[in-house]
Amino acid sequence: MIDDPELLTRKAAYVDTIRGLYRRERAVGFVACLVGVLALVWGRLGDGAPVWMTWTGLVVIAAGWGLFVYVLVRRSAWVRAHPFDPNG
């Protein structure tokens, strides 16, 4: 395979850069999904919970997944605009 340590180091740095893109938005998506699940469970199983809490939980979960899709699209666009150049 590839034995050039300099190329492997640059490729690892490129991948780390991609993983770091939109980290905050991805974390907000995780938190939104967690809050949505908690609201959904409370709305379904909690005594005295309002009926709208179940729907609110579903909407918050959908918003969290929407953030995941947003991050996926933005990262893909960044990779297309900045491809890895093994010679550069």
Give 86's DSSP letter.
T
- The mean pLDDT value for 13-34 works out to 96
- The mean pLDDT value for 39-49 works out to 92
Domain count, the chain: 1
Q: Please report whether residue 11 resides in a domain.
A: no
pLDDT at residue 61 is higher than 70: yes
pTM: 0.83
pLDDT at residue 2 is higher than 80: no
Q: Please report whether residue 73 resides in a domain.
A: yes
The DSSP secondary structure of 18-85, one letter per residue, reads HHHTTHHHHHHHHHHHHHHHHHHHHHHHSTT--THHHHHHHHHHHHHHHHHHHHHHHHHHHHHHS---
Q: Please report whether residue 87 resides in a domain.
A: no
Q: Please report whether residue 9 resides in a domain.
A: no
Tokens representing 42?
């409370």
Tokens representing 17?
């850069």
Q: What distances in angstroms separate CA 18 from CA 53, 59, 75, one per listed residue? A: 36, 29, 7
Contacts of 71 (CB under 8 A, 6+ apart): 21, 22, 25, 26, 29
Q: Please report whether residue 33 resides in a domain.
A: yes
Q: Please report whether residue 12 resides in a domain.
A: no
Q: Please report whether residue 71 resides in a domain.
A: yes
Residue 53 belongs to domain spanning: 23-81
